[in-house]
């Protein structure tokens, strides 16, 4: 059986924590930030842990992680 390819988009957008959880950047932080509440911008800093249902889909894109 041939090797599976990792999706390049997933490899660029997601990484794994040391405990194996999938980390991603928060959404809605690119532009139009003047419309967003300060609380939302503050909470969107750094990386966030994906939910279990989302991480199952990402694991299909990254077969060797």
| pLDDT tens-digit series, residues 5-33 | 999 999 999 999 999 999 999 999 999 99
DSSP code for 37 = -
What is the model's pLDDT at position 59?
Answer: 94
pLDDT tens, 46-62? 999 999 999 999 999 99
CA–CA gap between residue 43 and residue 20 (Å, rounded):
22
Q: Is the pLDDT of residue 1 over 90?
A: no
State which CATH number among 3.40.50.720, 3.40.50.300, 1.20.1560.10, 4.10.410.60 fits the domain covering 8-61. 4.10.410.60
Cβ atoms of 13 and 24 within 8 Å: the answer is yes
């Amino acid at each position: 059986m041939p090797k599976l390819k990792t999706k390049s988009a997933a490899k660029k957008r997601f990484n794994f924590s040391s405990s194996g959880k999938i980390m991603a950047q928060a959404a809605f932080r690119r532009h139009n930030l003047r419309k967003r509440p300060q609380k939302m911008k503050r909470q969107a800093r750094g990386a966030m842990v994906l939910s279990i249902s989302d991480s199952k889909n990402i694991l299909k894109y990254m077969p060797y992680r």
